[in-house]
Structure 1
Amino acid sequence: MIHIIPKPTDTPDDNSTGMVMTELKKMGVPFAVLDLAAVDPFHLPVEGETIWACGIRQDGVQFELLKALELANHVINSPEAIATCASKVTTTAKLIHAGAPSPDTCFTNDKSVVAEFLAAHGGRAVYKPVYGFDGNGIYLFESVDQITEVPPYYVQEYVRNDRDYRIFVIGGKAVGAIKRESAHLTHNIHQGGCGCAVEIPPDMRAAAEAAATAVGIDYCGVDLLPLDDGGYTVLEVNGTPNWHCMTAPIPRLLAEYLVEQEKEGRK
């Protein structure tokens, strides 16, 4: 049976978990809701099952509980993949190691190193929290004196843009995409960006699928920036993505993927 851990940030107006549950019901597929907070990691409530974690709280407790469940179950997405996507450092390292396109990046405790990076990239760079989400805490800076956060520092080259793209990838295949636009540095919907569905051209598909493969994740949202000379670079990979503004039937596709994985687990 498929066991579902609901996304803790779901609301009545934005219920990712509920959308997929609805599709499973339409398909006549049985499932059960699993309360992650109630799991005893030393006496697991289920074994040999497929567990879909639509989302978890960014705290050590829920991550450890999910890791424990993975000892005897197939967890989607895996705790390792979720943890990778939560860390911009680990995500970028995996992207670069796999040869996937990514902006030039610096990670350090030393502001003098940041100053050198800034000078090498035309005097403009982007500061990002290592464990940020929804576009919070990201800003453009032209002097290290503008950085008031405590170390470590994760900074990237500034890639000039007026839009970005979120591509939804399931099982290694890009299945839907939106263009996001705003007057700000970040185009995230939660930061006031406007999204509309778009087709997925071959170079966008290749970049998104390469990023998902590099991270090693079942499904994800890959954020891409277009480059002036063509192609795309990967901003981040979201391990618990929403699918705002997408016209692709993401809930149905996710439900079908869960059923497929559950069947594979029973072979």
Structure 2
Amino acid sequence: MIQEKRDILVMFSYRNHKRGYIEMLFDRLSARSQQYPLQLYRGSLSDTHICVKDNQLSIIDTLTNRDIASFDGIYFELWYKAQQQALAVAQYAKTHKVPFFSKELLRIMPMTKVGEVTCLADKKIPLPDTFISSHRQIKKVFRKNPPFLYPLIVKAADGYGGKNNFLVETYQDLVKILNCHKKTQFLIQEYIPNDHDYRCLVFGGKIKFVLKRSRDATSDSHLNNTSAGGKGERVALDTLSIAAQEAVLAAAQALHRDSFAGVDLMIHKETSQPYILEGNQTPQIEIGAEIEHKMDALLKYMEKITQ
């Protein structure tokens, strides 16, 4: 009796290697696998399409053009140079009950926005539509069939303080930014119409401080960050709707940062829909706006947990 072959995705950090090392490893394993009821496919972590659309996550392997969830199993062979993508794929595989190894991947910290987006998705947390991949794949996708409309927000996965964060109106501008920052991992997100956003400090599972950040009305920048010239002022918690507060706390919990986090929240100025932008593990306390109030919130939490 002929056994039906099971599809196994063998994941590497990159699509190829300049000396053919990745190809050699896969070819050897693939040849040997012919003795087993297995069909091996080579995948590239850095070229995966990580997409959030209407708060639903999908991850496509671009070497096979298949959704990760369609495979019977995943073997992460060489993943260390694409750790955040490895975390994303492992989380997605777990959600869709696709066997994979090793489970240590689930313990990788979401240290960039790539890992954060994946940990936040599929949990009823409102997120902007987001696309993440390599420069090669971003150019390809947005040239032919962009997943959402311009204008776009293009921001570095490891950026902070508004650095390497761009408002992009055209495909030509998108390509120019990618070409000028060839070693930077970017997220592409839909633009949420706004004139301010909020930094919410979470301590012990509760929002203890809310900073409203607003850019100058005459500014050409789309950034509200105080480190990028925006104005910051402390506002009352009830400035935020209950839905917005719940989204902030859910985001902090999903990232395992509900003990301490700075969650960035944006409200669509036309629909009032809240969106979570990110959850910082080390938000600015001793610098920026409202320093004394932020330090007080931190010190009160220190006092509370040591009673």
TM-score, normalised by the number of residues in structure 1:
0.61
1:146 aligns with 2:176: yes
Change (3 A) 1:196 1:94: same
Shift of 1:133: 1.1
- Contact 1:106 1:156 survives alignment (8 Å): yes
- Contact 2:248 2:265 survives alignment (8 Å): yes
List gaps (5 residues or longer) in structure 1.
Answer: 1-79
Please name the residue that 2:14 is paired with.
none
Change (3 A) 1:257 1:189: same
Please name the residue that 2:233 is paired with.
196
Given the alignment, which residue of 230, 247, 256 partners 2:272? 230
Shift of 1:257: 2.9
Given the alignment, which residue of 273, 276, 281 partners 1:239? 281
Given the alignment, which residue of 122, 141, 161 partners 2:149? 122
Q: Structure 2 matches for 1:76-87, cutoff 5 A? A: 83-84=109-110, 86-87=111-112
RMSD: 2.6
**Cα separation, 2, equivalents of 1:116 and 1:257:** 51
**Cα separation, 1, equivalents of 2:195 and 2:125:** 22
1:227-250 CA deviation, whole Å, 9 max, x = no partner?
221231011111111244348844
242-251 or 205-214, which deviates more: 242-251
Name the larger-Rg structure: 2
**Cα separation, 2, equivalents of 1:135 and 1:247:** 19
Percent of paired sites with the same residue: 27
- How many aligned positions are there? 182
Residue type matched to 1:213 in 2? Answer: Q
1:220 aligns with 2:261: yes
List gaps (5 residues or longer) in structure 2.
Answer: 1-105
- Contact 1:114 1:155 survives alignment (8 Å): no
Given the alignment, which residue of 200, 204, 208 partners 2:248? 208
1:99-120 CA deviation, whole Å, 9 max, x = no partner?
2111111011112124356x44
Shift of 1:173: 0.6
- Contact 1:82 1:240 survives alignment (8 Å): no
Change (3 A) 1:220 1:97: same
Change (3 A) 1:253 1:181: closer
1:88 aligns with 2:113: yes
1:171-192 CA deviation, whole Å, 9 max, x = no partner?
1111111111113211111100
Change (3 A) 1:199 1:259: closer
Please name the residue that 2:52 is paired with.
none
Shift of 1:260: 4.4
Given the alignment, which residue of 153, 163, 168 partners 1:136? 163
Change (3 A) 1:209 1:196: same
More relative contact order in 1 or in 2 (CA 8 Å, sep 6+)? 1
- Contact 1:180 1:189 survives alignment (8 Å): yes
1:61-83 CA deviation, whole Å, 9 max, x = no partner?
xxxxxxxxxxxxxxxxxxx9995
Given the alignment, which residue of 140, 157, 160 partners 2:193? 160
**Cα separation, 1, equivalents of 2:196 and 2:251:** 19
